[in-house]
Structure 1
């Protein structure tokens, strides 16, 4: 099986590219050059929120580079088209993708793909979403489980690409193992590492005709960018000092497990 990857350019995205490239299955790669990873705090914040904002994104950058050491570049010789956000859905990208040969397309960390680009992708085209769908669709979806005091609901979803955001049939949920000392960003990074490992196993274990798709059911939520404001960080950092995982493992928080869909369900019986 040969795959086309459409990913962002941050270390977490390139970790996935390198893990799959090690298996010799990546035929081509479209890389969207993403924005700076450490944003500046917005103006007019109270001092507590300004400091939390700086801490939150500095910690995210530190965790990203600690967990994904050496993944600031693609380590393998893969045909690659680097594009800006404006070029992602342009004719140049569509023509380049059309010229490549692959069986499966997988997107991760890119902005929304246009219908025109989706139309030139094969029947089997997947997206990797940083959040457990359908409960955490949209934006900031590895943060909200912590805000809801459900760190065990922080995971990743592999699902069919669709015109509707994060709504396609599910292939697999990946959830990392929680360990004492894990902060919010550690869990987010471990979720990426887990889904990269799971995806590699899926692609080397099953043919596309063997993949089972599960429609998304239930009343999940589409979290939009404006749902999150810096003041939400007070709960994670000032109330809990980013020790929500420790509190959960100590049994001080309710343990309600998400209904996970696994691509390996038949193997596990």
Structure 2
């Protein structure tokens, strides 16, 4: 059976994806990177937004908490994903593929050793939205057709590697930010499994993405103003308008769907 090792974080969404890998492949290891400590000076609206996200993710993924206890796990501090100890642990476990989901950026050492065998699950549709919170920002900008997930080969460019496949989630008109986010995680995880299987068999080939287009976001871009705009857009029936004209709006932002 094909073997995988995942570099991820320690949240419920990360446990969910690790569990799905475990069901479909020989999961030989999990590197669980601690989440960075939330800054104490974050605006109240941002703190509340993140708490609401955690509550919804607990509804979706709370049953997967134990996966980190039932796997071969290396727990590391935030920022240690490229340390010599981490790299050695990965090499010792000798996976066929490395999966990235929510970990820190991977440097060239791992990318060179596992050339074309490091696959990233990016929550967002690249190149339209890259970086952080990339299923939140399409709501701010009124582009729900850009909500989804991208499976791509990892590179030193942020979410910039060649794409294996992409998928949009099945949305409903009443979805909140966080229900949208969880649906995108589930769609992305399913796409990840199929993409690895078909890529290994040579059924799909990595396709170049144009990084000259689209938007790139950092954690520091999140603000109470952005959250307010997103709420207004949802209250003004953004999703209903999208779903009533989905085929056309999706066609304005074509994606790579090879599965």
TM-score scaled to structure 2, two decimals?
0.87
Q: Which runs of 5+ in 1 are unaligned?
A: 44-49, 265-269
Change (3 A) 1:30 1:222: same
Contact 2:139-2:234 at 8 Å conserved across structures: no
| Distance of 1:65 and 1:133 partners within structure 2 | 27
Deviation at 1:111, TM superposition (A): 0.8
- Give per-residue Cα distances to partners, 1:157-177, cap 9 Å, x unaligned: 111111111111000112101
| Distance of 2:24 and 2:69 partners within structure 1 | 11
| Distance of 1:213 and 1:24 partners within structure 2 | 21
Q: Which has the higher helix share?
A: 2
| Distance of 1:128 and 1:119 partners within structure 2 | 19
Match of 2:192, SS state, is helix
Aligned residues: 255
| Distance of 1:63 and 1:39 partners within structure 2 | 22
Q: Does 1:222 align with 2:223?
A: no
Deviation at 1:240, TM superposition (A): 4.0
Number of the residue aligned with 1:47: none
1:231 to 225, 228, 245: 225
User: Mapping of 1:250-265 within 5 angstroms?
Assistant: 250=244, 255-257=249-251, 258-264=253-259
Deviation at 1:76, TM superposition (A): 7.3
Number of the residue aligned with 1:57: 50
1:126 to 112, 119, 124: 119
Q: Quick check: which has more Rg, 1 or 2?
A: 1
Match of 2:182, SS state, is helix
Contact 2:164-2:195 at 8 Å conserved across structures: no
Deviation at 1:206, TM superposition (A): 5.2
Change (3 A) 1:238 1:260: closer
Match of 2:99, SS state, is strand
Greater alpha carbon shift after TM alignment, 124-133 vs 207-216: 207-216
Match of 1:71, SS state, is helix
- Give per-residue Cα distances to partners, 1:78-110, cap 9 Å, x unaligned: 322111123221111111111112211111100
Contact 2:123-2:149 at 8 Å conserved across structures: yes
- Give per-residue Cα distances to partners, 1:2-38, cap 9 Å, x unaligned: 11111111111110100111124322221112135x7
Match of 1:73, SS state, is helix
| Distance of 1:174 and 1:25 partners within structure 2 | 24
Match of 1:107, SS state, is strand
Two-structure CA RMSD over aligned residues (Å): 2.5
Change (3 A) 1:30 1:184: same
- Give per-residue Cα distances to partners, 1:183-225, cap 9 Å, x unaligned: 1111111111111122223334553533311100261222233
Number of the residue aligned with 1:174: 167
Number of the residue aligned with 1:111: 104
Q: Which runs of 5+ in 2 are unaligned?
A: none
Contact 1:183-1:245 at 8 Å conserved across structures: no
Q: Does 1:15 align with 2:4?
A: no
Contact 1:41-1:53 at 8 Å conserved across structures: no
